[in-house]
Amino acid sequence: MTRTTPPFRADMVGSLLRSAPLKDAREKHAAGTLDHAAFKAIEDAEIVKLIKKQEAIGLQGITDGEFRRAYWHFDFMEELDGVEAITADSGMNFKGGVGIAKSLRIVGKVGFSGHPMIEHFRFLKANVAAGSTPKMTIPGPSMLHYRGGRKMINMGVYPQMEAFYADVGAAYNGAVHAFYDAGCRYLQLDDISFAYLCDPAQREMLRERGDDPEHQPEIYAGMVQAALKDKPADLAITMHLCRGNFRSTFIASGGYEPIADVLFNTMPVDGYFMEWDNDRSGGFEPLRFLPKGKHVVLGLVTSKTGVLESKDDLKRRIDEASKFVSLDQLCLSPQCGFASTEEGNTLAEDEQWRKLELIVETAREVWG
């Protein structure tokens, strides 16, 4: 029942709490008191320590914790051709009244002509131990549209939305192949829009701004299909879905039923990281749509608080999920990253590592 290819029985979404030395270096660099070379040296050193820590607790898929990013999504998308970062009034508003005052604007034809994260991956790959699998995470293609909709798109460049969707899919296809050429064999698309589409309030928001929430899942699925066209057979692709994760807050609620069929049966991916750490995520019934050959990584361990889950409770919930799909098609992870933005969630680093250790231990006992 063990797995040697991604997703792994014990896995993680990607981001990890930024270390104190990294936070200090980032502040000094922003203030102009630490030059770029010195800052990068500290980044490199902290990422090497992070890699060794993940390997020490028994994780097989190893990330750089997204330590070089401020945001899980903006840092990637703003480097695409035709995309410009702007300051927004309030950004996406999370429950609790907090938001990110940043957005993206489409000012030219979207494309891919290289990206700094290719080098970020090369550094990760060069520093993982033999037997470990370096994992890269990037936002899914739908995120370039979902956050702002057509109001953030220069309609002189894209008078028809179909052309925009096609160009985004093609740009992502270029990125997928560039990461593969750099040696990546485990790539994750963080495409949280699919979980947001399960929330009636989010669907109404789309409707009010001129999008059709009934057809948007199919449109977004088409972008993923274009992104993964001619995907190499030995490149494992997973998708991550959640309902928002910023300083332990959230945006959306709702079970996966509205999008389960499209998600599982039209996406050319190998596995899905799905949030199931609380009642806002609904039940496991949508797993009945999962076809043979695909895997779901159950996000049963919350990254939003430091309270450690009970191993017996995790096993009970895995057993509940296995009533709808084979146990062999299931894995275990946190429901999201621990630091989708550089601020991180409201728990301590040692609490983060205890949760990851719990996942590894539980997976070994369940799957061997």
Assign 202 a pLDDT band (cuts: 50, 70, 90). confident
Q: Which CATH class name applies to 20-70+116-367?
A: alpha beta
Question: What pLDDT does 98 receive?
Answer: 59
**What is the average pLDDT score of the chain?**
92
Assess contact for 222 and 162: CB atoms under 8 A. no
Most confident of the following: 114-128, 270-284, 339-353: 114-128
> In 3D, which of 36, 48, 196, 58 has the Cα closest to residue 116?
36
Assess contact for 309 and 355: CB atoms under 8 A. yes
What would the two tokens of residue 91 be?
């950004």
pLDDT tens per residue across span 303-335 = 989 999 999 999 999 999 999 999 999 999 999
Question: What pLDDT does 103 receive?
Answer: 84
Cα dist from 8 to 77, 119, 202, 332, 350, whole Å: 27, 25, 32, 8, 23
Percent of the chain with pLDDT over 90: 77
pLDDT tens per residue across span 249-259 = 556 677 899 88
What torsion, rounded to 10 degrees, do the Cα atoms 355, 360, 366, 368 define?
-170
Lowest mean pLDDT of 113-127, 217-231, 252-266, name the range. 252-266
Q: At residue 250, what are phi and psi to the nearest 5 degrees?
A: -145, 175
Mean pLDDT of 103-110: 94
Question: What pLDDT does 195 receive?
Answer: 83
Lowest mean pLDDT of 28-37, 208-217, 303-312, name the range. 208-217
The span from the CA of 367 to the CA of 326, in Å, is 12
> In 3D, which of 309, 301, 192, 187 has the Cα closest to residue 245?
192
Question: What pLDDT does 92 receive?
Answer: 52
Cα 88–94–99 angle (5° rounding)?
Answer: 30
Question: What pLDDT does 33 receive?
Answer: 98
Q: At residue 84, what are phi and psi to the nearest 5 degrees?
A: -130, 135
What would the two tokens of residue 344 be?
């991180």
User: Can you name the residues that pair with 239 across neighbouring β-strands?
Assistant: 189, 272
pLDDT tens per residue across span 59-68 = 999 999 999 9
**Taking the model in full, what pTM does it have?**
0.94
Higher confidence at residue 178 or residue 89?
A: 178
What would the two tokens of residue 185 be?
């064999």
pLDDT tens per residue across span 270-314 = 999 999 988 878 899 999 999 999 999 999 999 989 999 999 999
The span from the CA of 240 to the CA of 63, in Å, is 14
| Alpha-carbon dihedral sign for residues 12, 13, 17, 22 | positive
pLDDT tens per residue across span 148-162 = 888 899 999 999 999
Residues whose CB falls within 8 Å of the CB of residue 266, separated by 6 or more in sequence, listed in order? 218, 221, 225
Q: What is the DSSP letter of 35?
A: -
> In 3D, which of 273, 209, 278, 282 has the Cα closest to residue 249?
278
Assess contact for 244 and 100: CB atoms under 8 A. no
Q: Inform me whether the pLDDT recorded for 4 exceeds 60.
A: yes
Looking at 182-259, list the stretches that DSSP marks H as alpha helix, in order from N- to C-terminal side.
Answer: 193-196, 200-208, 216-227
The span from the CA of 232 to the CA of 267, in Å, is 15
Question: What pLDDT does 96 receive?
Answer: 54
Domain boundaries defined on the chain? 20-70+116-367
